[in-house]
Structures are given as structure tokens and as C-alpha cells.
Chain A
Amino acid sequence: GESVGLHLPTLSVQEGDNSIINCAYSNSASDYFIWYKQESGKGPQFIIDIRSNMDKRQGQRVTVLLNKTVKHLSLQIAATQPGDSAVYFCAETGANSKLTFGKGITLSVRP
């Protein structure tokens, strides 16, 4: 069946360092991928997305990389800040806009 999973449950980084969060997906028919950030008591917040016809997309301090060959997605956060501390989810979808989420990884930023 479909599944989207994250390799590690937690990630601790020093403030100012770069963070890399990895994700594997199994549905090769997915054509749209999104990274969400979820803070305690809030709904998921869109960070960045990428379509399957691209392999890299950059935003402000964030970069998403897509490797369709191995069905791998990663989120890179440059100069990680305390405000980046949250749970991060990757999600994939196809034509029906149904999102399939992974379990989430907690990013903890050490001051």
C-alpha cells in the first residue's frame, strides 16, 4: 500500500547549523510533494513543495530535493533557528489532492 515514511524520529541541531530531514515514499505515481511544519497545538503549516518534474526547489532558507529514482525526498534548512523547532512532515499526493503523510520528525534546535 501507499506509505510515506521518515528515516529518523528526532533530530537535534545546534543553532546556526544546517538541518537535513529525509523522507522516503513508496507510491511511484505521486507527482507532488510537500513539506509541512507543525508546532505544538497548531495545524500543519506549508513550508515548500516540489513537483515530480523537478529535482530541486529553493525557498527562503529551505531547499527541497527530490530523487525519484530511489523515491527519496529531503528538506534542508539553512542556518537553523530556535523558531524552526517543530515536527516536520513530508507528504505526497497525486491528482486527487489526497495527502499521505509520514509519521513526522521532531527538530530540536540547541541554543
Chain B
Amino acid sequence: ETGVTQSPTHLIKTRGQQVTLRCSSQSGHNTVSWYQQALGQGPQFIFQYYREEENGRGNFPPRFSGLQFPNYSSELNVNALELDDSALYLCASSPSQGEAFFGQGTRLTVV
């Protein structure tokens, strides 16, 4: 077990809706990153938070946003869902540069 938990595990939303995915990181891990993994592909970096501030962003539009809280939890919000947003969303926490511990992911299906 990695100590990183994500909720929900599965989710179905309709195109145009908004979704919030949640992650609980390991205590003491100040860095949390979110990744999108399409079927058959490697995870793609969405953004990273360090001590509640965004600390890097991948090639994703502004409708992907996030929050990190002092209690080592974080959220990924996606507005105006599109069919191509269907993917496995992964949260990873790190104490610093180094090993990233991944949660089991949230499988989002947009219909």
C-alpha cells in the first residue's frame, strides 16, 4: 500500500458537467501531482502542487484546476467535461524530489 487514497474509484458523468476528484496523500508529503492516463497510454502530467500552491502545469486547458489543503488532501476539478476526458486520473504524492507514491486512481467515464 502506498498510503495515497483516491475517491471515488469509478465515476460516470455527462458531457458538459463538472467533476471533482479527491486524493489523500501521505502525511508529510508536501508535493502532490495529478496525472491523466488514457487507455493504453502512459500517465500524462496535469499539474503539481507544493504547499498549497500550483508548482508546474502540463499541457492541459484551464478547465482542469486543482487545490491542495493543509491536511495533505487535494482535489482535481474538471469543468465542461468532454468525451476525451474519459481516463484514469492518478494522484501521486512525494516528500520532495524523488519517489512518487501513486493512488489507485479514479476511472472517469464521460458519456
**Whole-angstrom distance between the Cβ of B86 and the nearest chain A Cβ:** 16
Beyond A43-B102, A98-B48, is A93–B97 a contact (Cβ under 8 Å)? yes
- In Å, the complex CA distance between A4 and B45 comes to 13
Do A49 and B97 touch (CB < 8 A)? no
CB interface residues, A 10-24, toward B, < 8 Å? none
Q: Which residues of B contact A41 (CB under 8 A)?
A: 104
Interface residues on A, range: 20 to 34
A97, A103, A104: the one within 8 Å of B100 (CB): A97
| Bound: A80/B33 CA distance, A | 32
Q: How many residues of B contact A (CB 8 A)?
A: 29
A98 touches B42 (CB 8 A): no
B40 contacts across to A, CB distance below 8 A:
103-104
Point out the residues of chain B lying under 8 angstroms from A46, CB to CB. 99-101
Residue numbers in B under 8 Å from A104 (CB-CB): 40-42
The reply to whether B105 and A100 contact each other, CB–CB distance below 8 Å, is: no
Residues of A within 8 A of B96 (CB): 97
- Let me know if A97 and B48 touch, CB within 8 A: yes
Chain A residues near B48 (CB, 8 Å)?
96-98
Please, how many angstroms separate the alpha-carbon atoms of A99 and B31 in the complex?
A: 13
Complexed CA–CA distance, A45 and B58 (Å): 22
Contacts of A93 in B (CB 8 A): 97
**Could you give 11 example pairs across A and B, Cβ below 8 Å?**
A32-B97, A32-B98, A34-B99, A46-B99, A46-B100, A89-B43, A98-B33, A99-B45, A101-B44, A102-B42, A103-B42
